[in-house]
Amino acid sequence: MGDLNATLKLATVLYNGEYVATDKERALQLYEDAATKGSMAARYQLAIINRDGGKGIPRNPQRALALLKQNVLAGHGLSMLALADGHLNKRFGSLSDTTLGVITLRKAEELGVEGAAPALADAYMSGRGGLPKAPQMAIKLLTDAAEAGNRQAARALVTLYRNGRGEVVRKSPATAARLIDRYAAAYDPNSLMQEKVLIEAAAAADSKAFAAVSKRIWDAPAPLQLGMLNSLRWANENAFVYALQDKMKVAGLYKGPLNGLLTSSTIRALSTLCDQGPAGDRCRLGPLSNSAARVLAIQAQSLDM
């Protein structure tokens, strides 16, 4: 099992290309080998790759469905959620069935898959799969599940109020703070510390507050920093930019003021930081794009190494 887990980790590193140059052919072969040996995690990864495509790999909805269904029959909860998501968001193209997506989520919920309640709540939040757009129903679903001990529902509820959901659910760090106290048992100690920092970040509105958040992140144990930075971008974009400015200034990559703003000098420094790794091209879409933000977080953390 240890060798198989190591194989999966290597495949993921090679496929993502964030720490080393991308080698998708080698990554896919490693996933295929692990899947042949019965790894449900490998089948799941192959299913996601075939479902969504990318990195020059064409989408193959038929194979994605086959792999996910094989895993679902074996009781793999993540595959059940991915199957539902694929149908609800029409990731399987003409093979998608939004009604089946909702049915699959309800079945997953009955089977005790913790991620089913947050996924079903998300469907209500946006009105997918034939469900009405009903934010209050979504919040009630999350609250009921959290009160019943569903850790993922509790975390989703905290995140919902920490980040907000546009006009549908207003951002409320104060509500998130109250909820984190109520559902603290849903978090391990490191995750609880991280979430409290993110709630603090969500409420930050000036450079002094951004500086406090940045210090908390860079003072945290190294294994936690990447996750905190990735989530920080959603909690408060200005705090995310400030934390990067802070780290780059210490490293001599940035000479401008610490203000959390994407000024021209900040963008130039971020581009230089991004280009120091193997995935610099991902920053061309903008420093706050999904792929760029993760690459920047990785490169910023590596400045200490």
- The pTM assigned to this predicted structure is 0.89
Question: Using alpha carbons only, how large is the chain's radius of gyration in Å?
Answer: 20
Instruction: Return the residue matching tokens 């192959």.
Output: 46
- Could you say which DSSP state residue 184 is in? G
Question: pLDDT tens track of the chain, all 305 residues?
Answer: 558 888 999 999 898 888 888 899 999 999 999 999 999 999 999 999 999 998 889 999 999 999 999 999 999 999 999 999 999 999 999 999 999 999 999 999 999 999 999 999 999 999 988 899 999 999 999 999 999 999 999 999 999 999 999 989 999 999 999 999 999 999 999 999 999 999 999 999 999 999 999 999 999 998 899 999 999 999 999 999 999 999 999 999 999 999 999 999 999 999 999 888 887 788 887 888 888 888 898 899 888 74
**How many residues are recorded in the chain?**
305
Angle at 46 between CA 233 and CA 278, to 5 degrees: 50
Token digits for 282?
Answer: 């991902």
Sign of the dihedral through C-alpha 292, 293, 298, 301: positive
Q: What is the pLDDT of residue 285?
A: 78
Q: What is the pLDDT of residue 97?
A: 96
Distance CA 226, CA 297 (A): 6
Nearest to 203 by CA among 226, 232, 183, 224: 232
Token digits for 77?
Answer: 């909860």
Nearest to 95 by CA among 74, 66, 72, 124: 66
Q: What is the pLDDT of residue 1?
A: 53
Distances (CA, A) of 177 to 181, 203, 285: 6, 10, 34
